[in-house]
Amino acid sequence: MSSPTTPADGGGRAGEVTDASGGERGRLAGALYWVRVGAYTLASLLGLSLLTVGTVAVIAEIKGTWHWAIHLESTISYMGILMGGLLALLVPLLLVSLTARVVYDV
């Protein structure tokens, strides 16, 4: 996935789709590039959040003390809030990306 601002091999911008009607599709492709970047970034944050919860859960299980049980409970609580926010942003971005890919073939 190349940036729409870097020159491509033919001298045009990467991610820019040109046709006889002008640069309208090119702007759409550039905007959709950033939608995909945002979606991939949010998906990465979601994966790291799940990894954090899993790590704390493993430590809590190994230690087996009430202290680590409290850490696990608070981590799950805070990460649940974070994941809810990430999913609230991620789902519309993915829907826009998939819809544009199907409708506009970009």
The model's pLDDT over 50-67, given as tens digits with 9 standing for 90+, comes to 999 999 889 989 998 889
What is the model's pLDDT at position 105? 76
Bridge partner list, 7: 13
How many structural domains are present in the chain? 1
pLDDT tens per residue across all 106 residues of the chain: 555 555 555 555 555 555 555 567 788 888 899 999 999 999 999 999 999 999 988 998 999 888 988 988 998 899 999 999 999 999 999 999 999 888 887 6
Domain that holds residue 97: 24-103
Q: Answer yes or no: is 12 within a domain.
A: no
Alpha helical stretches, state H, the chain:
24-63, 66-103
In a domain, 81, yes or no: yes
Question: Residue 40's pLDDT is what?
Answer: 94
* Tokens (6 digits) for 7: 């020159």
Q: What is this structure's pTM?
A: 0.68
Sign of CA dihedral 59, 65, 68, 72: positive
Q: Is residue 17 one of the residues assigned to a domain?
A: no
Note whether residue 7 is domain-resident: no
Q: Which pLDDT belongs to residue 11?
A: 54
pLDDT at 77: 92
